[in-house]
Structure 1
Amino acid sequence: MLNLFEKENEFKIEFNGRTLIKHSDKSPFIFIGQGEAEYNMYRGNFDIENYLESRIPLKYFVIAKEDNDYLIKLKKCPEEKFSLKLKVGHSEGQLKIEFLENNINANRIWLRVNAKKEEKIYGCGEQLSYFNLRGKNFPLWTSEPGVGRNKNTYTTWQADVKDKAGGDYYTTNYPQPTFISTEKYYCHLESTAYLDFNFKNEGFHELEVWEIPEYLLFETGENYLEIIEKLTAFLGRQPELPDWVYNGLILGIQGGTKFVFDKKDELKEKGLKLSALWCQDWQGVKHTSFGKRLSWNWEWNQELYPELDQKIKELKEEDIRFMGYINPYVLEGKSLYQQAVEHDYLAYDSEGEIYLVDFGEFYCGVVDFTNPEAFNWYKEVIKENLIDFGLAGWMADFGEYLPTDCVLNNSKSAEIMHNAWPAIWARLNYEAVKEAGKLEEVLYFMRAGFTGNQKYCTLMWAGDQSVNWSLDDGLASVIPAALSMGMTGCGLHHSDIGGYTSLHGNIRSKELFMRWAEMAAFTPVMRTHEGNRPDDNFQFYNDREAIEHLSKMTDVYTKLKKYIKDAVKENAERGIPVQRPLFLHYEEDKRVYDLKYQYLLGRDLMVAPVYEKNKKEWSLYLPEDNWIHFWNGKEYSGGEIKVKAPLGQPPVFYRKESKYKKLFKEAAEIS
């Protein structure tokens, strides 16, 4: 039900009993202005300066009724012409505020959504430092998240000083202008420009956009499950995972045919269940000061991987798949780059030269996906060089590096296209797989995203965490990352077991790897990564105890196949995330709204990963229910508890009334 109440100098918009917009001449809900931005990108990290020329409140308004909609004209002073025209309407349960006319040359807008002091906010894409976003502002711009992501740490300081890559609490591969409020509504702003959502003020949330957006959308629900179901019906939903994924670990390994397949045989003999070999260097390697990188020419490298075409067939007979790597850029001087140049498939700079992006001691061309011919060419590269060759999946990396000063085929500003790029990249992968008839067989996973990724990406991953215990960029950070993604409509999420980034003294330890593996066993997908400096960091396959530990956790994961598959199916059908914040099922418990390092896996499993080193016990919170300790069978009724947490037995509990309790007992008995 939409109601617009108007009296002298003020109005408010109510929707389904919630006051969402309040406006008066003393406290307007909308400001417009002009600004000029300067973007400096260094290897995917952005330094953005905004020179604000004006910010003008639109205090004065006229409202007219048109059928079931309201037309609102706003201006800054009585004697001037109207500056902005809005249409407020509702249909199919949604409140939509459309921006129809802009008669002033504005390229900045600030919108205020009514707020309450005690309100909590979740979402805005993948947020790794905060889950409840209240009290902070969040710039929404896809980029490298940065190393460390906390300006108070030595690692971040070193990364800033030496690499221009330190990051901050809000930097993320996957931002999105969508949030869910504890007032039980979702809000989505349709724009791909730079945005900043500010949740610091007690009485309003201020949404800043560096263009006039298309619309602002709200939808309400009686509970959070209903709200997420409605949000994902609007955004789209991820498909189910291929069945082979649940058969074991996706082993991240590289180094060529002999090394990879010898290790595979060795690990299988030691009892490690494998669902796939993920060899990101299948197309060759490059060595840089950052570490081992890849040769970005997306075709089989026969020198490094001789006989791979035959080996992939042999693997499948063992019920193991082979996975690779691709991204939206082509390495200067290589065969795909030359093809792209010949057919005019690359983006240009302002001087009419091919735009080359610095990816860290090597340069690449940007395949211009706004050119339909280039888009279709790259789909054929995926279909022919990856799918037809036999790959069952790949990391569809990057997507966040589109320079804001490149010139695109569609003539749109790259500043506006930058945030849109990851979703376009996701759609390209989706269409390639669908056209090949492989949607139920192929798994690709991405780190970058924006509005629209939901329906085009089979799996998200948390990006390049540091190989340490830091809250903002280590093991702990992937928990709020998964939860915030779930509240933004992406319910399938996982991370590199052991992390990825080893810089400025960060070296992966055996304990960190083992704790990360414990957590991964209670996520939709288990996958390891050797990291950017494999030789410097702990690798489990060189350690007997770590192999046994990983084998046990993988056995637990495979034993839970039925339960996890059912949760994944629910995500595909209803949009309910696999990893869930506790308040999705315990709304009345005020304590759970601020928990960001615990989650429910499906409905019935409570997971509280150990994210600090040298811990033998762990404190956590259980909402009121009948809980059974996963490993020892002890019963709990809720509240703050402390439990023993030796390696191999992470704090996990299941609901006593669960229909899967027999399965949980069997999984816990694995030794």
Structure 2
Amino acid sequence: NRVQLTYISHRNERFFGFGEQFSCLDLKGRRVPILVQEQGVGRGDQPITAAANILSYRSGGSWHTTYAPSPYYMTSDMRCLFLENYEYSVFDLRRHDRSDFQVHSGTMEGRILHGQTPAELLMRYTESIGRMRELPDWIHQGAVIGMQGGTNAVKKIHAELKKHDIPIAAFWLQDWVGQRKTSIGWQLWWNWEADTDHYQGWGELVQELKSQGIRTMTYCNPLLASKRRNLLQEALAESFLVRKPGGGVYMITNTSFDAGVIDLTNPKARCWLKEILRDMISTGVSGWMADFGEALPFDSVIHSGNENPALLHNRFPELWAQLNREVVEEWEQEHKLQNGDIDKLVFFMRAGFMRSPKWSTLFWEGDQMVSWQRNDGIKSAVVGLLSSGISGYSLNHSDIGGYTTVNFPFLKYVRSEELLMRWMELNAFSVIFRTHEGNDPGANSQFYTNARTLQHFARCARIFKAWKFYRKELVKVPASRGMPVVRHLFLHYPQDEFVQRITYEQFLVGSELLVVPVLNRGKRKVRAYFPAGDVWVHVWTNRNYGSAEQSSSAWIDAPLGLPAVFFKAGSTVGSTFMSNLASLEAS
């Protein structure tokens, strides 16, 4: 019941990919399990990981736990391989002279890809697994405001944002279904219909925002907990939920409540859930977070009967993405605009497997901690963005400020103002600029907390909008070549050995922008590396760095509000970006 393949390697060969990895870019020297699962709280950073494990068995995670792994890699020697198995697999890269791949199955299926460059290998890989479609224009217009609190809270924040002339693409109102207080803070009622007590005049609010050019986004997942219409009871009555081996519904514990998993192998359950999502869209929303997808139990009993649930576990997030994509495409075709254009919807997911990019319209990186940590925090958000980009997840982003907040008397991880502001600067150069209040909003610094945070948010939202012209071109590339918007330098400078060792320190946006974010508390300078071959121009001082002949590095001032960003000399991207920003700041 095991098949193993051993491949020759050497000490200096670098291994990239494996889906969305949060701790390491180069996995040489490590044993990498490929299993869809919660990433955990802390993921090895201490003392939070130990504390999480004490409170709930293994909930702290480890350096390799991830929502979206892939049995795939490319190396610095331009070797590329992926397995087509959904069974659990392990890539053992601990020996310098070989790499061992084992799949827990009687057969191993996969492909070895050929290419001369990382870009060519990524193109070949995404040809095989599927590529992401272009994002619609409306989501590029400005910030996606993630908040909770009901109709009056939204109107209050909207008025404040208008005062500061902050460009807004959408309000993401995850608590449209209502909220409940749990052991980790405020969570949602997992019952996918509008809570009209919490959001009085829900339909009117959505239309009022849309009349001002602002879309509304919501939240759903493939689990159910009871409330109001009580979708859980409807699903129980129709046998639409995953069941236990001995009989009865498999209820999954999430913090302080239990929920049933909708059986996505049941055609009737799929149709029922699609109608629920269509009802959600019919209220006027333009997108949603399609959360979870990683919780199918290995010993569950499923409708299809002839499929091993242990094999289905890794495929479940793909089924969840496929269902959402079907709803999107069916709705778009049925509701074309009068001129024949399509008003595109967007859903974004955290869980995934190898072929998820074929189905999902956007990804986000899940629940990073509100911290500066390496394995679970602002640094891991950059690593996840870059590793997933090499793995075909071309359109991805993180919550501004992180999500997971720990606010116990004996242990505190709460979002500081400085962390929030640095994360704003980081995500101003991501494909989506979206805020999240976190699981304990009152404990965290928010963009609306005071004049400083609001002014900094306005500045970063304008920076984000200023390169909209370039971003709109970049989001077309995934569909044709599979290249991500945010890129590890390895994709453009594969022979540079220093580049091969970069993890979170800097990244490219397309090929024309170089970003060196501040990811440490109290720092006002960053060290930037410039590979040989290009000259880079600092956007704020117009000073040149790097050369065609040799690589170099330099310390760059990066006070709050002036992140270290460079454009390639001779590129019109830099001049257009600065011109647009000047116009936005002056308006």
Fold match (TM-score > 0.5): yes
Q: Check whether the contact 1:290–1:532 (CA below 8 A) recurs between aligned residues.
A: yes
Q: Is the 8 A contact 2:332 2:345 kept in 1?
A: no
Q: Structure 1 residues 645 and 393, CA, compared in 2 at 3 Å: closer, same or farther?
A: same
Q: Choose the corresponding residue for 1:657, options 557, 570, 574.
A: 570
Q: Which amino acid aligns with 2:152?
A: K
Give 1:483's aligned residue: 386
Cα pair 2:25 2:503 within 8 Å, conserved = yes
Alpha-carbon deviation of 1:116?
A: 2.5
Are 2:274 and 1:379 aligned? yes
What is the identity, as a one-letter code, of the residue corresponding to 1:131? L
Partner SS for 2:572: coil
**Equivalence for 2:552:** 639
Distance 2:514 2:6 in 1: 37
Give the 3 Å change call, closer, same or farther, for CA 219–584 of structure 1 in structure 2.
Answer: same
1:424 equivalent to 2:332? Answer no
Task: Give deviations 1:590-649, integer Å, cap 9, x for gaps.
Answer: 211111111100110001111001111111211121110011111112511101110011
- Within a 5 Å distance, the mapping from 1:151-166 to structure 2 comes to 153-164=46-57, 165-166=59-60
Match of 2:248 in 1: 353
Say yes or no: does 1:590 pair with 2:484: no
Could you give the per-residue CA deviations for residues 183-202 of structure 1, whole angstroms, max 9, x where no partner exists? Answer: 21321111112221111112
Task: Say which SS state the counterpart of residue 70 (structure 2) adopts.
Answer: strand
| C-alpha displacement of 1:432 | 0.6
Q: Return the alpha-carbon distance in structure 2 between the equivalents of residues 302 and 580 of structure 1.
A: 42
2:82 to 185, 188, 210: 188
In the alignment, structure 1 residue 204 sits paired with structure 2 residue 98: yes
Distance in structure 2 (CA, Å) of the matches to 1:213 and 1:331: 39
CA distance in 2, matches of 1:660, 1:402: 45
The answer to whether residue 519 in structure 2 is matched with residue 606 in structure 1 is: no
Q: Distance in 1 between matches of 2:258 and 2:507?
A: 41
Partner residue in 2 for 1:49: none
Q: 2:169 maps to what in 1?
A: 275
**Aligned pairs for 1:143-154 within 5 A:** 143-150=37-44, 153-154=46-47
Q: Superposed, which structure 2 residues align to 1:241-320 within 5 Å?
A: 241-320=135-214
Mapped to 2, the partners of 1:518 and 1:186 lie a distance apart of 34
CA contact (8 A) 1:332 1:365 kept: no
**Cα distance in 2 for residues equivalent to 1:477 and 1:403:** 27
From 541, 550, 566, give the equivalent of 2:457. 550
State how far apart, in whole Å, the 1-side matches of 2:572 and 2:108 are.
46
**Residue 473 (structure 1) shift:** 0.6
For 1:494, the equivalent position in structure 2 comes to 397
Query: Where does the alignment leave 5 or more consecutive residues of structure 1 unmatched?
Result: 1-106
SS state of the match for residue 353, structure 1?
Answer: coil
Residue of 429, 450, 459 corresponding to 1:522 = 429
Report the Cα offset of residue 163 of structure 1.
Answer: 2.6
2:69 and 2:246 map into 1 onto residues whose CA distance is 31
Letter in 1 for 2:542: G
Residue 217 of structure 1 pairs with residue 217 of structure 2: no
Which one of 277, 300, 310 corresponds to residue 415 of structure 1?
310
SS at match of 1:610: coil
Q: 1:568 to 1:172 in 2, by over 3 A?
A: same
Could you tell me how far apart the structure 1 residues matched to 2:343 and 2:87 are? 34
CA contact (8 A) 2:536 2:544 kept: yes
1:231 paired with 2:140, answer no
Q: How does 1:448-487 map to 2 (within 5 A)?
A: 448-487=351-390
Q: 2:257 aligns with which of 357, 362, 380?
A: 362
Task: Give the AA of the match of 2:101.
Answer: L
Decide which structure has the larger Cα Rg and report it. Answer: 1
Give me the whole-angstrom Cα distance separating, in 2, the residues matched to 1:396 and 1:261: 25
What is the alpha-carbon root mean square deviation over aligned residues?
Answer: 1.4
Asked whether the equivalents of residues 189 and 213 of structure 1 are also in contact (C-alpha less than 8 Å), the reply is no
- Shift of residue 150 of structure 1? 1.4
Which residue of 1 is the match for residue 529 of structure 2? 621
Q: Counterpart of 2:217 in 1: which secondary structure?
A: strand
Native 8 Å contact 1:142 1:175 kept in 2 = yes
Partner of residue 402, structure 1? 296
CA offsets per residue over residues 437-485 of structure 1, 9 Å max, x none?
1675211111100021011011111110110100111111111111111
**Partner Cα distance (1:498, 1:491) in 2:** 22
Q: Tell me: CA distance 1:407–1:332, structure 2 relative to 1, closer, same or farther (3 Å).
A: farther
Which segment drifts farther, 330-339 or 299-308? 330-339
* Mapped partners of 2:212, 2:321: distance in 1: 30
Q: Which residue of 2 aligns with 1:136?
A: 30
Distance 2:497 2:104 in 1: 36
Give the corresponding residue for 1:70.
none
How many angstroms apart in 1 are the aligned matches of 2:249 and 2:343?
38
CA contact (8 A) 1:268 1:274 kept: no
Cα displacement string for residues 325-370 of structure 1 (whole angstroms, at most 9, x for unaligned residues)? 0000011466211221222211111122111111121111111011
Aligned to 2:314, the other structure's residue is in SS state coil
Task: Output the amino acid matched with 1:182.
Answer: S
- Quote the residue 1:630 is aligned against: 539
CA contact (8 A) 1:190 1:213 kept: no
SS at match of 1:541: coil
Q: SS at 2:529's partner residue?
A: strand
In structure 2, distance between residues paired with 1:491 and 1:528: 20
Q: So what's the TM-score if we normalise by structure 1?
A: 0.82
Please state which structure has a larger fraction of its residues in helix: 2
Give distance in 2, aligned partners of 1:235 and 1:585. 22
Alpha-carbon separation, structure 2, partners of 1:440 and 1:198: 46
Contact 1:567 1:578 in 2 (8 A): yes
Q: Following TM superposition, by how much is the alpha carbon of 1:373 offset from its aligned partner in structure 2, in angstroms?
A: 1.3
Instruction: Render the CA deviation track for 1:246-291: whole Å, top value 9, x for unaligned.
Output: 1110000000111111111111112211110111100111110111
Q: Give the SS at the match of 2:16.
A: strand
CA–CA separation in structure 2 for the residues paired with 1:581 and 1:448: 22
Counterpart CA distance in 2 for 1:500 and 1:465 is 6
Amino acid at match of 2:423: W
Deviation, 1:306, is 0.6
Q: Distance in 2 between matches of 1:524 and 1:447?
A: 15
Kept in 2, the 8 Å contact 1:332–1:363? The answer is no
| Matches of 1:480 and 1:347, distance apart in 2 | 34
Consecutive unaligned residues of structure 2, counting only runs of 5 or more, are 334-341
Corresponding residue SS for 2:332:
coil
**Equivalent position of 1:533 in the other structure:** 440
Cα deviation per residue 1:373-417 (whole Å; 9 max; x = unaligned)?
111211111112x21111111110000011112100112222111
TM-score by length of 2: 0.94
Which residue of structure 2 lines up, in the alignment, with residue 39 of structure 1?
none
Shift of 1:312: 0.7
Match of 2:339 in 1: none
Cα shift readout 1:154-191 (whole Å, capped 9, x = no counterpart): 11111111233111100001111011122213211111
Q: Structure 1 counterpart of 2:365, which letter?
A: A
Amino acid at match of 2:388: M
Secondary structure at 1:419 match in 2: helix
SS at 1:147's partner residue?
coil
- Structure 1 position 125 matched with structure 2 position 34: no
